[in-house]
Amino acid sequence: MKIIMLGAPGAGKGTQAKMIAEKYGIPHVSTGDIFRANIKNGTELGMEAKKYMDKGLLVPDELTVKILLDRVAKEDCAKGYVLDGFPRTIHQADVLEEALNKIGDKIDFAIDVDVPDENIIRRMSGRRACLSCGATYHIEHVPPKAEGICDKCGQELVLRDDDKAETVKNRLNVYHEQTQPLIEFYEKKGVLKSVDGTVDMKDVFAAIVGILGE
């Protein structure tokens, strides 16, 4: 069972990917994690990717797919995997599909965790973080006992730049321009499934399990 997770930043697809991986006993494959592991281990592919990253450039899609295929060829991916963070563009999806075709493989499900922009902006701009101990809160859903103060260490909580409404809007604009077209791409392939990401994460997961099967 090979699964791709789709959805806007802040939609909760990473959380769902981890839950899917745990339930079905398949690896949660994040491109960021793969890059870090390859660079740390000094692999040939990792060193090639590092050349681009050190210059602040994006790693070319073909190289990213090579690193990804190297990861999913490992024994723990024999029953499948959940891809999180890739593909992000139509070109990446094309390169991935072509590479999988060559080894007689394909994606079984592309799951879109659908959340409207206004929900995401409210969700992310409500986050607060403690820079001292790393604890995170949400002013609506997981508020600290004392406003603006970390329960664990008593330090001041901050709204990170990444979570500011303006930053979130910019990230959503990039998503709609580059990544949202993947929904139509996988719909045409007949593998797209959409779930309502505005409900409780347990209910989102239950809907995903309903799609994937017990």
Catalytic residue numbers?
A: 13, 88, 127, 160, 171
Residue with token string 């593909």? 87
**Size (the chain), residues:** 214
Judged by phi (left if over 0) then psi (alpha if -120 to 50, else beta), residue 51 lies in: alpha
DSSP-derived secondary structure for 102-163 = HTT----EEEEEE--HHHHHHHHHTEEEETTT--EEETTTB--SBTTB-TTT-PBEE--GGG
Q: Beta partners for 83?
A: 4, 29
Q: Which structure tokens are listed for 44?
A: 């040939």
Look at residues 146, 147, 153 and name the one whose alpha carbon lies nearest to residue 130.
153
Look at residues 12, 30, 3 and name the one whose alpha carbon lies nearest to residue 209.
3
What whole-number distance in Å separates Cα of residue 200 and Cα of residue 197?
8
